[in-house]
Copies of this chain bind each other. A is one copy, B any other.
Amino acid sequence: MNDQMFIKAACAEARAGLQEGGIPIGSVLVRHGQIIARGRNQRIQQDSPILHGEMHCLANAGRQTSYRDCVIYSTLMPCYMCAGTIVQFGIPRVIVGESRNFSGASDFMRSHAIELIDLDDPECYQLMADFIKAHPQLWNEDIARD
On whether the beta carbons of A80 and B85 are closer than 8 Å, the reply is yes
Interface residues of A in 23-64 (CB under 8 A from B): 43, 47-51, 55, 58-59, 61-64
- In-complex Cβ contact of A81 among B62, B63, B89 (8 A): B89
On whether the beta carbons of B84 and A63 are closer than 8 Å, the reply is no
- Chain B residues with Cβ below 8 Å from A81 are 81, 84-85, 88-89
On whether the beta carbons of B146 and A68 are closer than 8 Å, the reply is yes
On whether the beta carbons of B59 and A48 are closer than 8 Å, the reply is yes
Interface residues of A (CB under 8 A from B): 43, 47-51, 55, 58-59, 61-68, 79-85, 87-90, 105, 108, 141, 143-144, 146
Q: A47-B63, A88-B105 are known; give 19 further A-B pairs, CB within 8 A.
A: A47-B62, A48-B59, A49-B61, A49-B63, A49-B64, A50-B50, A50-B55, A50-B59, A51-B59, A68-B146, A80-B88, A81-B84, A81-B85, A81-B89, A84-B87, A84-B105, A88-B144, A89-B144, A90-B144
